[in-house]
């Protein structure tokens, strides 16, 4: 972490004003993932925003981790969704801001939703996300098709 004093971090639910930052960070960080597929650059933002808004509309939930001294400074987030027939919530995305990586924030976000040694279904994957799941002994199944289902 690049801060001079250690930050006191807190996980809270997403506020409506957080969504733009979450959406932008998700789009930018996922763009170069080998699991993102081949989407032309001129279509990327529109397709991602449609997908993200659709997830929220059907009940996906995002939580953010913030510095208590600067509660509007989002240093990471996790987006999940309860899906009928699956025991654990689906993990749509896990993100930690570059300056705050390597200090356990991804683990804090994961533990806020999933117990260690659990199994999770993932719809958007990055190498950092896969590594965080492995570090916390969370087994995953990659199932991007869940994003396209209708309703909850």
| pLDDT value, residue 61 | 94
Q: For residue 70, list its beta bridge partners.
A: 67
**What is the separation of C-alpha 105 from the centre of its chain, rounded to a whole number of angstroms?**
12
Cα(11)–Cα(92) distance, rounded to whole angstroms? 17
Q: Residues near 108 by Cβ (< 8 Å), separated by ≥ 6? A: 9, 11, 65
Cα(45)–Cα(53) distance, rounded to whole angstroms? 12
- Asked: is 9-148 a CATH 3.40.50.300 domain? The reply is no
| pLDDT of residue 4 exceeding 60 | no
pLDDT of 56-114, one tens digit each? Answer: 999 999 999 998 888 889 999 999 999 888 888 899 999 999 999 999 999 999 999 99
| pLDDT value, residue 113 | 92
| pLDDT value, residue 151 | 55
pLDDT of 12-58, one tens digit each? Answer: 999 999 999 999 999 998 888 887 878 888 999 999 999 999 999 99
- CB count, 10 Å around CB of 144? 15
Instruction: List the domain boundaries for the chain.
Output: 9-148
């Amino acid at each position: 972490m690049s801060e001079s004093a250690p930050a006191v971090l807190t996980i809270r639910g997403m506020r409506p004003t957080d969504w733009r930052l979450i959406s932008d960070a998700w789009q930018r960080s996922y763009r170069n993932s080998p699991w993102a597929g081949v989407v032309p650059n001129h279509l990327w933002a529109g397709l991602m925003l449609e997908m993200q808004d659709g997830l929220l509309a059907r009940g996906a939930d995002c939580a953010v981790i913030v510095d208590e001294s600067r509660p509007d400074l989002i240093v990471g987030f996790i987006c999940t969704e309860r899906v009928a027939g699956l025991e654990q919530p689906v993990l749509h995305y896990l993100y930690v801001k570059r300056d705050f990586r390597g200090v356990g924030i991804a683990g804090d976000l994961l533990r806020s939703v999933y117990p260690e040694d659990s199994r999770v279904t993932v719809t958007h994957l990055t190498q950092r996300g896969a590594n965080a799941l492995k570090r916390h002994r969370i087994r995953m199944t990659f199932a991007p098709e869940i994003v396209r289902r209708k309703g909850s």
